[in-house]
Structure 1
Amino acid sequence: MYINSIRKIWNSIAKSDIDEEPNFETDFDHIIELFHFGDSYYYIFNLQNSVIEYVHPKVEEIIGVKPEDFTTEKFMEIVHHDDLPHFMNMENTAIKFALNFTPEKLENYKVRSDFRVIHQQSQETIRILRHIHPLQFTANKGVLLCLGIQTDISYLKPFGKPILSFIGLNGAPNYINIEVEEVFKPTNEILTPREKEILKLLHKGESSKQVAQELHLSEATVNTHSRNILCKTQCTSIQEVIYKAIENGWI
C-alpha cells in the first residue's frame, strides 16, 4: 500500500515522466561534510523512478542490510511499523514544501527528518537522522537525484515523535519543526484528537482544572477523558501514559 503512494510523492518533485540520464560526477566528499557527524552511510536516490542508484557499504553496519539488498522496497520494509505513517507524512510534506522553491534556492537547503528502523541483523530498534540534499535537476527544473545521509542517533534521541525541518545553507533561513500534514493515518491509532490534546497539556504540567479552562470543558469531562486514556493505553498513571505517548510518537 505505502510503496506505490511514496513513489507518487517522490516522482512529483521530479516534474517529468521522461527518463533522464543521472549524472554522478559530483564531489560527494564535500557535500557529506555538510551532514556528517556520527556513524553514517550515504546513498544516491532517483526521485523519478524511486530507485536507489548507489549506497555506501557501511549501510550493512548501520541497519544490517547488505548494499546489494538495499532497495526502495527493502528500506520501506525496515521502517518501524509505528513510524511508517510519520515517515510517509514527512515525505509528502517535504515534497510539497520543496515545490515552492526554484532549483537555485533549493540547492541551499537540506531536508532533515528522523524516524525509527529495525536493524535487520540484531532486530534492535534504532533511530535514524536523515539529511537529503538535491544533486541533479530535470529539464523541467524538478529534482532528479538527491543525496541521502542517514546517521544512527539512538544515543541522542531514544524516543520521541519524528520531526521534519528544512535547514538553510549559505545564509538561507531555517524552517524548523515544520507542521506535518497527516495524510496517512496510523493503522493502530489509540487516542482520539481530543485525548491527544488533553495529554499534551498535561505533559506541560497543567492540572485538570487548567486543562478544562483552556479547552473550555468541565473538569469532570477532562477527568473522564483521562480515565479513558488510562484504560486504552493500559497504564496506571498519566505520567506513564505521557512517557508511552512520547516513546511512540502519539504527541
Structure 2
Amino acid sequence: MKEQDHHFYLTAKKFWKTVVNKETVPNLEQLQQQVEHYKRLLSIFHAGNYYYQVFNIYTSCFDLVSPEVKNVLGYEPREYEVGFLMSIIHPDDKPYVLNFEYKIVEFFKTLSFEKVSRYKVQYDFRIRKKNGDYMRTLHQAVQVDYDRENYYRTLSLETDITHIKPHGEPCFSLIGLDGEPSYYNIKDKHFTKSFDLFTRREREVLKGIVEGKTSRQLAEELCISIHTLHTHRKNILGKAKTKTPLELVKKTLGEGWV
C-alpha cells in the first residue's frame, strides 16, 4: 500500500475506533442470517449489480464479503480487504469518503440506542475495478451488531450506479426510517433536517422507479390501482421538478432521496 493510502486508512481507523472499545468474535452462520434479515427489512434498493460486505469496526476488517464482488469489480472476495479498498478509491474521491466517514461516526455517537436501527447511511464514490476502469458505487449501510456502548459491525451494499451517475461529486445522506428525520446531500458540519418532498407512499413509488420496476409491477406490489400509481408518478415528477423518469432517477441519486 502506498504511504498516502496507508495514511488515509489509518485516519479512517482512528474515526472508527472512537465508537468501539472491544472485539467480539462473529458467529458466521448467525451473521449471515442477520444479513438476510436486514436486507429484507430495510429499504435498501438495487439500481444495478451489487455485492455486500460486513465490516468489523474494531478490527477495521471485513468479516464477510459476498461472492458477487467478483462479478461487479473483478476481485475475489479474499482480495477485497479494507486496506485494499482504500487504495482503489478514486484519488479525487478519497477526501469525500474520509469526510463522510467522520460525519457518520459523529452522527451515530449522538443517537439513542433505540434509534440506531432507524437510520441508513448512503453515499457514492468511484472505485477502480480489476480491469482498470472506474465504477461509481452507491454505498448503503446499516448497523447490524451494536449495544448501548459499542458499534461492532456494519452491513453495507455496494451498487454499481455508473450508468445512472457517470459524473458529479460524491453525495452523502443519512436517511431516517420509521418516521425519523432525514438529512439529504449533507455538505455542512452541522446536520440540518431535510424537509421531505414526498409522502411515504410516494417514497415507496420512487424507490420502485429507481429500481426500474414497471407501473404494473409497482401497482401490484403496493396493492393500488394503475390510475393511482400514475397519479403518484405524476406528483413525484412535479415535486422533483423533472420531466422524465431518467431525469428523476439521476436527481434522486444526486440528492440522496432514497
**TM-score, normalising length from structure 1?**
0.67
Q: Which residue of 2 aligns with 1:143?
A: 151
Q: Is the 8 A contact 1:113 1:165 kept in 2?
A: yes
Show structure 1 runs of 5+ residues with no match. Answer: 182-251
Q: Give the 3-state SS of the residue equivalent to 2:19 in structure 1.
A: helix
**Structure 1: how far apart are the matches of 2:184 and 2:163?**
21
| Structure with larger Rg | 1
Q: Which residue of 1 aligns with 2:122?
A: 112
Aligned length: 177
1:94 aligns with 2:109: no
Pick the aligned partner of 1:43 from 45, 53, 68.
53
Q: Is the 8 A contact 2:23 2:152 kept in 1?
A: no
Q: Is the 8 A contact 1:164 1:180 kept in 2?
A: no
1:23 shift after superposition: 4.8
Q: Give the 3-state SS of the residue equivalent to 2:178 in structure 1.
A: coil
**Structure 2: how far apart are the matches of 1:180 and 1:53?**
32
**Structure 2: how far apart are the matches of 1:46 and 1:64?**
23
Q: Is the 8 A contact 2:34 2:144 kept in 1?
A: no
Specify the code of the residue in structure 1 equivalent to 2:98: M
CA deviation digits over 1:85-116, x for unaligned, max 9? Answer: 11111111111111110222111011000000
Pick the aligned partner of 1:2 from 8, 15, 24.
8
Structure 1 stretches (4+) deviating beyond 3 angstroms? none
Q: Which residue of 2 aligns with 1:12?
A: 18
1:32 aligns with 2:39: yes
Please report the RMSD computed on the Cα atoms of aligned residues, expressed in angstroms: 1.5
Q: Is the 8 A contact 1:109 1:167 kept in 2?
A: yes
Pick the aligned partner of 2:138 from 129, 141, 144.
129
Q: Which residue of 2 aligns with 1:214?
A: none
Q: Give the 3-state SS of the residue equivalent to 1:67 in structure 2.
A: coil
Q: Which residue of 1 aligns with 2:163?
A: 155
Q: Which residue of 2 aligns with 1:77?
A: 87
Q: Give the 3-state SS of the residue equivalent to 1:79 in structure 2.
A: coil
Show structure 2 runs of 5+ residues with no match. Answer: 1-6, 190-258
